[in-house]
Every structure is written in structure tokens, then in C-alpha cells.
């Protein structure tokens, strides 16, 4: 494999020349969350340890990575920020942002699933296997997450709030729609394992078949 040579230039860029990413996969952080406070204090104390990554636009620049750091420096009323400037395509920008957010675990499974769907389906940038390679996850990881989007809103909310694990939710995808809610509540109230969910599904199937015979 070719070694990646970082060809970006590091410069002091005027803050007002820089705008947030158009993709902003995850910029829903609250200014009052304690992580953000910590970041602001750390930058006030030690300066910006890692430059943000930006790409040139026709006018000014766009943030590729480091939205939180940028907002923190803005809070500190900085006029200039140390930034790496790199020529990147929309696709590369999206991949970098997605990877950064997955590594920082800043998205819930449904947000990840939606980000994957945008890449594969809305933008048509590549299939599941290509995306998986780019973000350093397995194909199964990506396709499982995308399958979660087929579930009804109420169940998706349960996944987003972590009441339902991805492995549990995947088992519910194949269940007929009218039974999904019922199984989801069973799974949550008894914290069923994947094996127990499969047994429950089998039991329901048999019950149906039995009722058809009668």
C-alpha cells in the first residue's frame, strides 16, 4: 500500500474566513455540555494542540474536521486559528467526518445508520463494502445499521436512546410489522439475548402456524 503523505499546509487562518461543513454530520453538540466546557478550558490553558482541518472553497474555507475545536476558539474570541489546508472532494470530506465521529463515538446507532444511508444511497458514492473499508468497520456493521432504518419510529427511538441494542434490534427487523412492537417491548423489559429473541420468534411462528390449522 502507498504511504499516505500529508500534503496539507498549516497556517494561521482568520476565523471569519472559515465556515462549518455543509455536511456537518454531527454538529448538534450543546454549548453547555461539560465536554465542551472542558475543551474550551483546555484550549484557554494550553492553546490548540491539534490544528483543525479545512478545505479551500471559492471564497474562504470549509471545516472538514474540528468543528468543536473551532467553536471553542470562537467562544474564546480568537481571531485566527491554526488550520491544515487540504484539497478534498465532497466524498473525502464526508468520509473523514464520518470516521472522526465514529471513533469519537459521538453518534447514536440511528444517526450512524442515516449517515451510512446518505453515503450509499442518497449520494451514491459507493456500496456497503467500500464505505466499510473507508471507516474501518466490517461490512456487516454497516449493513446491519442500515437495516435498522426499516424499523418504525418508536423502535428507532429506543435504539437511539440505547434502551435497545443494535444486536437485539437487528433480530426485530425480520419480524412481521404487526408483531415488531410487541417483541420490542418483550426484549426491553426482559433484556433478552439474541438467542432468546430467536427462540421467541420461533415460538410466534409456530403459534401462527398452529392457529392456521385450527
- In a structure prediction context, what are the per-residue pLDDT tens digits for the chain, which is 214 residues long? 556 667 778 999 999 999 999 886 665 555 567 788 999 999 999 999 999 999 999 899 999 999 889 999 999 999 999 999 999 999 999 999 999 889 888 889 999 999 999 999 999 999 999 999 999 999 999 999 999 999 999 999 999 999 999 999 999 998 988 889 999 999 999 999 999 999 999 988 888 877 777 6
Q: What is the pTM of this model?
A: 0.82
Q: How far apart are CA 27 and CA 20, in angstroms?
A: 9
Nearest C-alpha neighbor of 41 from the set 73, 82, 80: 73
Residue carrying C-alpha cell 429473541: 197
| Three cell numbers written together for 158 | 429506543
Q: How far apart are CA 46 and CA 20, in angstroms?
A: 24
Q: How far apart are CA 27 and CA 205, in angstroms?
A: 44
| Three cell numbers written together for 146 | 442500515
Length of the chain: 214
| Three cell numbers written together for 12 | 494561521
Q: What phi, psi does 55 have (nearest 5°)?
A: -125, 145
Q: How far apart are CA 143 and CA 113, in angstroms?
A: 9
Amino acid at each position: 500500500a502507498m504511504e499516505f503523505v500529508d500534503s496539507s499546509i498549516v497556517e494561521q487562518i482568520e476565523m471569519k474566513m472559515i465556515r462549518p461543513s455543509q455536511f456537518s454530520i454531527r454538529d448538534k453538540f450543546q454549548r453547555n455540555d461539560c465536554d465542551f466546557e472542558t475543551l474550551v478550558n483546555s484550549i484557554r490553558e494550553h492553546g490548540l494542540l491539534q490544528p483543525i482541518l479545512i478545505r479551500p472553497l471559492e471564497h474562504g474555507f470549509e471545516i472538514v474536521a474540528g468543528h468543536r475545536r473551532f467553536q471553542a476558539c470562537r467562544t474564546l474570541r480568537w481571531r485566527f486559528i491554526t488550520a491544515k489546508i487540504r484539497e478534498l472532494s465532497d466524498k473525502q470530506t464526508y468520509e473523514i467526518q464520518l470516521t472522526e465521529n465514529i471513533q469519537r463515538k459521538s453518534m447514536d446507532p440511528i444517526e450512524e445508520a442515516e449517515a451510512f444511508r446518505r453515503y450509499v444511497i442518497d449520494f451514491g458514492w459507493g456500496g456497503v463494502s467500500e464505505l466499510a473499508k473507508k471507516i474501518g468497520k466490517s461490512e456487516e456493521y454497516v449493513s446491519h445499521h442500515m437495516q435498522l432504518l426499516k424499523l418504525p419510529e418508536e423502535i428507532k427511538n429506543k435504539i437511539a436512546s440505547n434502551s435497545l441494542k443494535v444486536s437485539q434490534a437487528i433480530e426485530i427487523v425480520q419480524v412481521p410489522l404487526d408483531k415488531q412492537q410487541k417483541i420490542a417491548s418483550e426484549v426491553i423489559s426482559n433484556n433478552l439475548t439474541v438467542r432468546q429473541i430467536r427462540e421467541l420468534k420461533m415460538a410466534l411462528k409456530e403459534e401462527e402456524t398452529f392457529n392456521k390449522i385450527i
